[in-house]
Amino acid sequence: MMIDTGAAEGLVTFQRIKRTNGSGFDSMGVGTARIAKDATVATRDAADLFAPPEPLFMPQSLIDGQVYAMACDQVGFLNVGCKLGRAPVADAGVRAAYAFFDGTTWQPDIAQAAVVIDELGGTPTISWNPWLGRYLAITGRILSSTVQLRTADRIEGPWSTPVELPASADGASGLYAPTNADAYNYAIVEHTALRSADGRAIVISYSRPTEAFRGDVRLARITLQ
């Protein structure tokens, strides 16, 4: 994720993953790096932005001068839920600048962060959509290649019942299913820079498995009603 902080350099956020003996994916922290305009190499910050035992909030949405970050984890059987944090965009790389929504208000105590959206198949991307006049959250359904769209009047929710867009083998639905019936599309991301000016036509990307340890990344354009 690249965040435009308004300064001469952008802030890159990333998750550090450790694999042990060729298996497992352990999240070790959320880090940051800085890259100057026209540069080809970023400079990594020495300390993580978030690290265990804290929830790993990943900054991902820039809305009205605030960077919003989500920390998602299993909150029930086959149920992923996400908590919400935010910081002023100029301080998006500063841990102390973050506040967290506790279900009622924003506060600095990360331990009070509440789940604001659940029944997900992964971390959603959230944007303000001018066509809908509402916030839009896009993610996958758990154990499925179906894309889900939810809306809310406030970024903290409550969120609507999802509208579902299933994937198909021939792509007739606009989304291609994996070639293996036991695999699922993942890493579903909305790219707001590619949407239409009025927000009606949005663009998402998704990772599609094709065979063991191989796959492709596809784009899909969705027209909202």
pLDDT tens digits, 170-220: 988 889 999 988 899 999 999 999 999 999 999 999 999 998 888 999 999
Q: What angle do CA 212, 216, 221 make, to 5 degrees?
A: 145
Strand 58-63 with 66-76, pairing: antiparallel
Say if residues 101 and 83 touch (Cβ distance below 8 Å): yes
Q: Strand order in 2-3's β-sheet?
A: 2-3, 9-20, 23-36, 43-44
> How far apart (Å, rounded) are the C-alpha atoms in residues 217 and 212?
15
- The answer to whether residue 22 scores a pLDDT higher than 80 is no
What digits encode the pLDDT tens for the residues 46-90? 999 999 999 999 998 899 999 999 999 888 788 889 999 999 999
pLDDT class for 6, splitting at 50, 70, 90? confident
Please answer whether residues 118 and 73 qualify as being in contact, where contact means their C-beta atoms are separated by less than 8 angstroms: no
Percent of the chain with pLDDT over 70: 99
The pLDDT value recorded for residue 2 is 85
Which one, of 104, 176, 190, 173, lies nearest residue 145 by Cα? Answer: 176
Per-residue pLDDT at 38: 85
pLDDT score, position 75: 82
- What pairs with residue 110 in β-bridges? none
Q: What is the value of pTM for the model shown? A: 0.88
Q: Does residue 21 register a pLDDT over 90?
A: no
What is the pLDDT at residue 211? 87
Amino acid at 197: A
> For position 161, what pLDDT does the model report?
95
Average pLDDT, the chain: 92
Cis bond before residue 53 (omega within 30° of 0): yes
Percent of the chain with pLDDT over 90: 71
Cis peptide leading into residue 55 (ω within 30°): no
Q: Which positions ≥6 away from 154 have C-beta within 8 Å? A: 135
Q: In the predicted model, what is the mean pLDDT of residues 16-33? A: 84
